[in-house]
């Protein structure tokens, strides 16, 4: 089973700042520990690929800076989704979508990848959603359904987009193409 | 060969910086930084001008370069960049976004927008990113898709009431008198600044983008970290708890019952229950920002949801405010007869009122024409929210509200007159000019 060491996120996403990545991975530790998970727990993944990963961490996070539960869950979901993008697609996260709407990040090939094209470096969109604990009204299937409903089925030239929804009570995730 | 990705990256870093300035309403800094970002992004986009197959990168770069040109008022350049983007092979989503941008550019050209107006537009655009897009559709096909104005007015008013009540209810949950020594005064300020904003409309049926700019809330009064954190979360929580949930789900009922007392639920949800009632004249849906795709339809509330969201008045222990009762009577003055038609209980009511002169201590002002305003009664509190003189008052005592409002206006007028004009903010100058035009004072300065 592949292991994701949360503190290593800063080294795997080159184009986003290490400080930002540390903030996301610390949020992830807080979100997991809030549900009494310990280092070495399994993350089960459903979607285009059914698999699981081991989550490791050793950092002791000072929780004072992570009190807004909703934000913690969002950033924690970002950390997991960045890792899943690298593991389950050929892409990596390039940047946050600053201009334009309706999604969170652009994905593209890593510069070292044989398909990398410096003239066409953006390849797909990534939409991320985080849930602290599933409930009947707020579960992974429902979030995925809502995200998928945003795409008009008659579109002939759809932009490739991935959906990543992460739940921290289990922990589990859905990762798949839209 | 130029490194397009690196240039684009530099441009996006500048865009973030510019947006931070815009949120602080630093328009000049926003435009200066946006100009730098635009020059970089245009270079990146142009490098792909004839590279038709570089999609989606090509159209993304043209779209963001065009957006930046628009934000700094370079409309011709913005239009050219949109057409260059569309001339390629953009994916359908990006073509929609480019066309939407073109509509906004054309509107700006037709209405001769100044740079200031463009920056204001960019501010609205930033808010649009955070807005909830709601669509109302008539259930009755009598006017086809056209929707009766009364429904729209009713709906928007209810959203505003719900948001202000939500803001106050959550403030009370979060803060105590230790956090704010003038606790009631702080709640009054908060209520007056809890404004839901409409930042986009669509008239195929009726669509509205609703948002709140909580950044400016309590800007002058409250600076604690705890309050900043509260206001940062406020509109997002309102969205998830009041505008977007599955109202009929048991888990939602449980969450809402655990979090809010029956009184608080009355305050927060009563305004929107009517829109979701099975007998409501319209349906509600959440859409994408262009009002083209339905993201979620809100079904009508079932009985249980209604009882959770709007506990009946008899069940709510109303200790600290009276109930507003409205009685209709048919009166025949000549015969001296009165026929009582009906009585109903209200959670919201509006009254017209007005002032002709005001006295406070040794000062008196006369209004040139009677000054009329609206008094709102909502959940036991009477308020006057007067945008013209930028004044907000609230009290539980109806008999004192006109007097209170008049005195506050007089005090504000006296205070503005005393201050050097160059120390007044643009808004204060505007209010002072209005006061000078509407009132005569009996003292000299």
DSSP string for residues in B156-214? HHHHHHHHHHHHHHHHHHH--TTT-SSHHHHHHHHHHH---EEEEEETTTEEEEEE--G
Instruction: Give the pLDDT mean for A147-158.
Output: 58
Contact A121 B57 (CB under 8 A): yes
- Which of A71, A135, A150 is nearest residue B293 as measured by Cβ atoms? A150
A124 vs A107: CA distance, rounded Å: 5
> How high is the pLDDT of residue B354?
93
**Taking the complete model, does pTM exceed 0.80, yes or no?**
no
Q: Which of A13, A93, A94, A99 to mutate to test the interface with B (most CBs of B within 10 A)?
A: A99
pLDDT band at A58 (very low <50, low <70, confident <90, very high): very high
Instruction: Determine the Cα angle at B122 with ends B120 and B128, to 5°.
Output: 110
Q: Are strands B197-202 and B206-211 parallel, antiparallel or unpaired?
A: antiparallel
Could you tell me the pLDDT band of residue A153, with boundaries at 50, 70 and 90?
very low
Q: Do B4 and A118 touch (CB under 8 A)?
A: yes
Contact A122 B60 (CB under 8 A): yes
Q: What is the pLDDT of residues A75-124, one digit of tens each?
A: 999 999 999 999 999 999 988 876 655 567 899 998 888 888 999 999 99
Positions of chain B with pLDDT lower than 70, given as ranges? 216-223, 313-322
- Cβ separation B12–A98 shorter than 8 A: yes
Greatest alpha-carbon span in chain B = 96
Beta carbons within 10 angstroms of residue A43's beta carbon: 23
A6 and A25 in contact (C-beta within 8 Å)?
yes
The answer to whether A158 contacts B91, with C-beta atoms less than 8 Å apart, is yes
Distance of CA B348 to the CA centre of its chain: 19
**A66 pLDDT above the threshold of 80:** no
Beta bridge partners of B349: B377
Tell me the C-alpha to C-alpha distance, in Å, between residue B201 and each of A16, B134, B175, B265. Answer: 36, 9, 36, 29
3-state secondary structure of A23: helix
Looking at residue A165, its pLDDT comes to 94
Average pLDDT, chain A: 86
- Beta pairing class for B391-395 and B381-386: antiparallel
Q: What pLDDT was estimated at residue A154?
A: 43
DSSP letter assigned to residue A28:
H
Cβ distance of A101 and B251 shorter than 8 Å = no
Contacting B with CB below 8 Å, chain A residues are 15, 67-68, 70-71, 94-95, 98-102, 106, 117-123, 135-138, 146, 149-150, 152, 155-159
User: How many residue pairs bridge chain A and chain B with CB atoms within 8 Å of each other?
Assistant: 98
Mutate to test the interface with A, among B93, B199, B252 (most CBs of A within 10 A): B93
Cα A99 off chain centre by: 20
Which of B1, B2, B5, B291 best probes binding to A when mutated, by most A CB atoms within 10 angstroms? B5
CA distances to B149, B274, B309, B330 from B277, in Å: 18, 5, 11, 30
DSSP one-letter string for B14-83: HHHHHHHHHHTT-HHHHHHHHHHHHHHHHHHHHTTTT-TT-TTHHHHHHHHHHHHHHHTT-HHHHHHHHH
Q: Residues of B with CB below 8 A from A119's CB?
A: 4, 47-48, 51, 54, 57
CA dihedral A53, A57, A62, A68 (to 10 degrees): -10
- The residue ranking higher by pLDDT, B319 or A68, is A68
| Of the candidates B270, B205, B273, B210, the residue with the CA atom closest to the CA atom of residue B238 | B210
What value does the mean pLDDT take over residues A130-152? 77
Pick from A67, A95, A158: CB nearest B92: A158
Distance from the first to the final alpha carbon of chain A = 26
pLDDT for B250 equals 86
Up-side HSE of residue B101: CA atoms within 13 Å toward CB? 34
Contact B249, B309 (CB under 8 A): no
- Token digits for A58? 């050793």
Contacts B93 to A, Cβ<8 Å: 102, 155, 158-159
Give the nearest chain A residue to B297 (CA atoms).
A146
Length of chain A in terms of residues written: 178
Residue with tokens 């020594």: B181
């Amino acid at each position: 089973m592949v292991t994701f060491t949360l503190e290593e996120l800063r080294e795997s996403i080159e184009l986003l700042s290490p400080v930002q990545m540390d903030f996301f991975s610390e949020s992830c530790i807080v979100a997991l520990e809030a549900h009494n998970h310990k280092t070495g727990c399994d993350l089960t993944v459903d979607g285009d690929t059914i698999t699981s990963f081991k989550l490791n961490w050793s950092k002791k996070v000072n929780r004072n800076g992570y009190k807004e539960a909703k934000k913690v869950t969002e950033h924690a979901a970002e950390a997991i989704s960045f890792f899943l993008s690298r593991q389950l697609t050929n892409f990596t996260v390039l940047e946050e979508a600053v201009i334009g709407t309706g999604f969170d990040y652009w994905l593209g090939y890593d510069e070292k990848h044989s398909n990398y094209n410096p003239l066409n470096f953006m390849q797909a969109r990534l939409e991320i959603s985080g849930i602290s604990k599933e409930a009947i009204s707020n579960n992974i299937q429902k979030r995925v359904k809502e995200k998928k409903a945003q795409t008009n089925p008659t579109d002939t030239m759809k932009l490739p987009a991935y959906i990543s929804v992460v739940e921290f009570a289990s922990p589990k995730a859905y990762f798949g193409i839209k | 060969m130029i490194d397009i990705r690196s240039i684009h990256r530099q441009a996006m870093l500048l865009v973030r910086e510019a947006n931070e300035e815009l949120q602080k309403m630093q328009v000049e800094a926003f435009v200066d930084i946006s100009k730098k970002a635009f020059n970089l992004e245009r270079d990146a986009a142009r490098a792909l001008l004839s590279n038709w197959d570089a999609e989606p990168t090509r159209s993304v770069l043209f779209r963001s370069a065009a957006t930046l040109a628009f934000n700094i008022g370079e409309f011709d350049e913005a239009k050219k960049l949109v057409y260059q983007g569309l001339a390629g092979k953009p994916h359908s989503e990006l073509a929609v976004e480019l066309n939407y941008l073109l509509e906004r550019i054309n509107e700006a050209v037709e209405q001769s927008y100044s740079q200031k107006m463009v920056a204001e537009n960019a501010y609205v655009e930033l808010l649009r990113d955070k807005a909830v897009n709601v669509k109302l559709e008539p259930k009755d096909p009598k006017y086809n898709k056209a929707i009766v104005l009364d429904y729209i007015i009713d709906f928007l008013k209810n959203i505003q009431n719900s948001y202000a009540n939500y803001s106050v209810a959550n403030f009370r949950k979060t803060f105590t008198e230790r956090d704010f020594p003038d606790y009631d005064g702080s709640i009054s300020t908060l209520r007056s600044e809890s404004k839901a904003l409409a930042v986009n409309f669509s008239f195929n049926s009726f669509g509205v983008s609703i948002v709140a700019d909580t950044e400016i809330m309590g800007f002058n009064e409250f600076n604690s970290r705890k309050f900043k954190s509260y206001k940062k979360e406020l509109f997002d929580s309102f969205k998830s708890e009041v505008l977007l949930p599955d109202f009929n789900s048991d888990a939602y009922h449980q969450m809402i019952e655990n979090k809010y007392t029956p009184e608080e639920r009355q305050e927060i949800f009563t305004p929107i229950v009517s829109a979701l009632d099975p007998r409501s004249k319209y349906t509600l849906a959440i859409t994408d920002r262009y009002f083209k795709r339905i993201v979620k339809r809100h079904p009508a509330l079932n009985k249980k949801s209604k009882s959770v969201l709007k506990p009946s008045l008899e069940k709510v222990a109303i200790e600290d405010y009276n109930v507003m009762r409205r009685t209709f009577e048919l009166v025949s003055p000549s015969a001296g007869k009165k026929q009582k038609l009906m009585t109903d209980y209200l959670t919201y009511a509006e009254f017209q009122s007005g002032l002709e002169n005001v006295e406070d201590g040794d000062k008196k002002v006369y209004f040139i024409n009677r000054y009329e305003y609206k008094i709102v009664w909502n959940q036991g509190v009477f308020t006057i929210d007067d945008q013209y003189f930028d004044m907000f008052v609230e009290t539980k005592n109806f008999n004192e509200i006109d007097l209170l409002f008049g005195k506050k206006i007089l005090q504000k007028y006296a205070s503005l007159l005393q201050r050097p004009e160059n120390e007044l903010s643009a808004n204060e100058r505007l209010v002072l000019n209005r006061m000078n035009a509407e009132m005569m004072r009996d003292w000299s300065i």
